[in-house]
Structure 1
Amino acid sequence: MTPDPAPRPSAATIGVLLGSVVVAAYTGIRMPSRWTATLQTVSLQDGFHRRFLVGTLLRPIAQPTGYAYGLFVAVSFVVLAALVAVLVRVAVTTRIPARRLLIVAFLLLPTGGYLFHEVGYFDQLLYLMFFGSLWLLGRGRAVAAAAMLALAVTVHEIAVLTVLPLFFLAALRASPLRRAVLAVMPAALVGGVILVASAAVDGAGNRLGRRLTDTGFPLRPDALELFGRTQRDSWRLYSPSDVLLFLLPLFVIVVGAVFALARTNARRSRRSAVPIVVWIAAAGAPVVLAAAGWDRERWAFLLIANFCVVVWFLLAEHPPEVGHSSHLVLVAALLLTAHVPLTYFDGYAPRALTADDISDFAERAASGSFTDTPPR
């Protein structure tokens, strides 16, 4: 999602964009949860083989500070702020108005509030690293871009089903198939090794849990229990088919919209186009996460996020004129995604734009209770 050279946008345009950020933040922002903070402590030094990059990098700071919760809060908000800054920057600098509207829509739809509510989750760092890899790829630094995506897999293995397909799509748009495959190969190999190897050495979770408890860290023991379960064990705790059925209508919307947009672009452009199946796969890959865990609303959010990135690319292939049927398809698809309930974690709910909710939020912010450590 690299910015396009463009004339300076109007003050009204910037105002609408920043207003969308404010509304999204108000709707969903909260303090990072104990779950996300606990996962950010996981490191290679402690014997973990998955989701270890953040904890490994933070360990030299976390240990001397006694694993202060504030450290992980700060890191979480820095990542969120950087991700939002990228979205704002590309929206301001794009020369395609439909792209700017796409970002505004993403922020004002339930996805915007969910983005802020997800603060601390590794998903945000994955997409931030993906945007960094696009920046590198656009400057001819394919090896560095591939290395960044390989590192993203060590942040969280779901990178294989979220940002990796998007990166392959971006690489294929910029280079021949062989080079695109080589670009994603390091991340694919790292992902394969991580998924085949054990999640952690025996007892790693218990040892880290005891050490965190001794420091007074707000531990979520069940977050560390993840590393002691096999995928088969996880399937005993939920129904993958039920999660898939929840995602299926959204998946159909995404696939249908991408097919229509990509087919229209292919008909209108004489250039050698990316195969439609690649566009669809990049947008729809997160649906496979139904087999990975029970966070169905989170998977729905990631499905919509991938869809929006794919649409961003499609709008550059052959920008449709205002009023073109492609715009109608896109608007209809985005409005339909709003009918998918993105239920928040831990009993939280989206804040409404009503006087009562705004007053309550202002009171919590003024009293300082907003920054209290979440109970979960």
Structure 2
Amino acid sequence: MYLPSPSDRSRDLADRVERFVRDVVAPYEGDARCTPHGPTAELVDELRAQARAAGLMTPHILEDGSHLTQRETAAVLLRSGLSPLGPVAVNTMAPDEGNMFLIGKIGTPAQKQRFLAPLVAGTARSAFFMTEPASEGGAGSDPSMLQTTAVRDGADWVINGRKMFITGAEGASVGIVMARTGSGERAQSTMFLVDLPHPAVRTERVLDTIDSSMPGGHALVVIDHLRVPADQVLGAVDEGFIYAQVRLSPARLSHCMRWLGAATRAHEIATAYATRRKAFGKLLIDHEGVGFMLADNLIDLQQSALMIDWCAGVLDTGSQATVESSMAKVAVSDALFRVADRCVQVMGGSGVSRDSIVEQVFREVRAFRIYDGPTEVHKWSLAKKIKRDAMREVAA
């Protein structure tokens, strides 16, 4: 199940990435260095050394610094996702892929040299500090609830707050911190680039979560009087909410791309199992209950591919594609969860065993239905748009 490669360069890259992930990366899936909080730093470095030797480090960003189109990126990121370790190895993983995109879009030349270049080279990892503890009334799906504050102090800014579910904070060298600036009901937010580790940014604990593919896991972080120079403001002061949308729409779609690859691989494994395993005198696939599940998988995978390609095409027009990315995120995350769930069911006991990656794909895709906005929040946002459009029609 493959997205179309709209150019020769993306077709070549996608094919090379697929061969590398299948032949070199996939054998590491049973490595003891794959922990509940993601692959260890040692394993990340080992995988990236091999990707670098193969000329596949950060393949969606070209040598001149330009970026593949979103449709081209989709073809490449899908192939990287054929193993949960693939995006880690070739540096297309979250949150780094989205952070590189954002810094590349709005960073100053000095910021790009200092913070972006090591990320593109794959020698550093990053974290995006936005989500906050729900128990403290902090920002989650609603970023306007942001509690972390940034206050001017001379030429610097001083940041205080607590952040939750911060992917990759442990081991990151680059941080993008989103903090509230100003006061009042309509207070704005600002993004800050931060060198990590930093004594004012402390991991309270790394949370035990259902997923386990991202290095560093997901941390609860305390930010205590973090002093940041003014030249490390990312973009303009008070424009953080706008920049969050610049990052989040393509980042949502990138998740869809990568997990489509993972679900495709899970479907391959389940299909191989169903065409080898016999029960009640015939192959599993010859039982309608099994064969129909695999047929439904094929439909969901193809629909997901088409949804991704459509949204990527909209992004390539220069649109922020806020509505389209919400639609794609809902449709693809739900469809891929159905695929992963069926794969587990087809494989029975083998499907819940960690002897294959099917069990992990199931866990990862279940988490994806929440990350980057739960399905229900995106549907609520879409319903509000439907109402606005309808009321506008009535008024006209």
Give the TM-score, by structure 2 length.
0.24
Higher relative contact order (CA 8 A, sep 6+): 1
Give the TM-score, by structure 1 length.
0.25
Quick check: which one's strand share is greater? 2
